Chains A and B, each alone.
Chain A
Amino acid sequence: KQEVTQIPAALSVPEGENLVLNCSFTDSAIYNLQWFRQDPGKGLTSLLLIQSSQREQTSGRLNASLDKSSGRSTLYIAASQPGDSATYLCAVRDNYGQNFVFGPGTRLSVLP
């Protein structure tokens, strides 16, 4: 059964810093991986989808990498801003189904 973990659980950084959020999964037979952002009490906003055949995807200040064989993905946020403060979730879809297995999230605070 796929298990997804995220480190750190919480992170507080000053504005302008570059930062890395980590996601690990136990079963490397994945189809794709999606990073989401969740604001308090709100829904999930899709950030990046990275296919199992890809090594990275970029969108603006965000870059997601995938190392399937080691069961890891990282989300890199460049030049962080207070508006980036949210919980970041990674979710893995395996080769056997359609649904996502979510990690517990990393709660990010960017201080002005």
Chain B
Amino acid sequence: EPEVTQTPSHQVTQMGQEVILRCVPISNHLYFYWYRQILGQKVEFLVSFYNNEISEKSEIFDDQFSVERPDGSNFTLKIRSTKLEDSAMYFCASSRVSRETQYFGPGTRLLVL
């Protein structure tokens, strides 16, 4: 059964460094999403992406964040200058059509020191 994959599974970085989190959505899906979950807190929406542009973003998704689909398979989240409070589990999700079932990847656990 097709699934969303994410790399790396864990990443440790120093405050102020740039990180890129990678996702491979399900191949025939057209809508892509990033969510994050700070330890012990709710899952929070960051951004949705369709047709090579951001379709919606939350107030969390400030200028330090960017997303890109550099080729036909990968979908990336870049954090330009990481802060301690960026430490969280980051989930990628995809859906075939808008507003339908979203399938989540296993997550990348980011730790900013």
Show the binding face of A for B, using Cβ within 8 Å.
31-32, 34, 36, 41-46, 49, 89, 91, 93, 97-105
Q: For the complex, what is the distance from the CA of A97 to the CA of B98, rounded to whole Å?
A: 10
The 10 A-B pairs at the shortest CB distance, nearest first, are namely: A99-B45, A44-B104, A43-B106, A102-B43, A49-B101, A43-B104, A98-B48, A102-B42, A43-B107, A97-B56
Task: Say whether A89 contacts B55, CB under 8 Å.
Answer: no
Which residues of chain B come closer than 8 Å to A32, judged between CB atoms?
99-100
CA distance A91 to B35 in the complex (A): 12
Q: Are B107 and A89 in contact (CB under 8 A)?
A: no
B31, B42, B55 pick with most chain A CB within 10 angstroms: B42
| Residues of chain A with a CB closer than 8 A to B91's CB | 43-44
Contact residues of A: prevailing secondary structure:
strand
Q: Which residues of B contact A (CB under 8 A)?
A: 4, 31, 33, 35, 41-45, 48, 55-56, 58, 91, 93, 98-107, 109
- Which residues of the partner chain B approach A31 to less than 8 Å between Cβ atoms? 99
CB-defined contacts of A46 to chain B, threshold 8 Å: 101-104
CB distance from A63 to the nearest CB of B (A): 17
A-B contacts, 17 of them at CB < 8 A, read: A34-B102, A42-B106, A43-B91, A43-B107, A45-B104, A46-B103, A98-B31, A98-B48, A98-B56, A98-B98, A98-B99, A99-B45, A99-B56, A99-B58, A100-B102, A103-B42, A104-B42
B33 touches A99 (CB 8 A): yes
Question: Could you tell me if B106 and A99 are in contact, using CB atoms closer than 8 angstroms?
Answer: no
A43-B91, A44-B91, A97-B56 known; A102 vs B44 contact (CB < 8 Å):
yes
Residue numbers in B under 8 Å from A93 (CB-CB): 99
A42 CA to B105 CA, complexed, in Å: 9
